[in-house]
Amino acid sequence: MPTRATEPLYRIKADLFKSLAHPTRIQVLEVLAATPDHHAGVARLLEATGCEASQLSQHLAVLKRAGVVASVRSGNHVEYRLTAPVVAELLTTARAFLLSRLAGASDQLHAAAELPPLPGASAQAVLDAAAQQ
């Protein structure tokens, strides 16, 4: 039970976003979301983030406390996994927003300059390009 039942939803939601509000933790979730079964070992996360073991461990603890990931000990090492596929959706939605913001800003600039957008620089093109990774 990661949260108290008596807390209002907007507070719980804020805590969820707070658990995502760090670059290293985003990197971790991106790695997990990128694997077919949404899990990975600590070693994999260590090399992906390039940070110190204890630091990674603390960030993983934050994600675990938030109920975003869960861990399983497998012999001498530990595997982490997303607790729900919708977590990956959260990341892709965030990316969609960021890309729409870039595209929107670009469109705004072009509109302000009263020039047609460059070929391959439209909002859709940006999204298409990004979809390839």
Partner DNA sequence: CCTTGACTTGATGATTCTATCAAGTCGTCA
Partner DNA sequence: TGACGACTTGATAGAATCATCAAGTCAAGG
71 binds, among DNA, its own copies, none (CB under 5 to 8 A by kind): DNA
Q: What is d(CA 23, CA 5) in angstroms, rounded to the nearest whole number? A: 29
Interacting residue with DNA among 7, 13, 21, 101 (CB under 7 A): 21
CA angle 97, 32, 1 (to 5 degrees): 90
Q: Which stretch binds its own copies (CB under 8 A): 17-25, 38-46, 52-60, 72-80?
A: 17-25
Enter the DSSP assignment of 79.
E
Cα separations in angstroms, 100 against 57, 91, 123, 128: 33, 14, 7, 12
**Taking CB under 8 A as the rule, does residue 117 contact its own copies?**
no
**Taking CB under 7 A as the rule, does residue 78 contact DNA?**
yes
**Taking CB under 7 A as the rule, does residue 13 contact DNA?**
no
Q: What is d(CA 18, CA 20) in angstroms, rounded to the nearest whole number? A: 5
Q: What is d(CA 128, CA 21) in angstroms, rounded to the nearest whole number? A: 26
**Taking CB under 8 A as the rule, does residue 10 contact its own copies?**
yes
Residues in contact with its own copies by CB under 8 A are 1-2, 8-14, 16-18, 20-23, 25-27, 30, 67, 83-84, 86-87, 89-91, 93-98, 100-101, 104-105
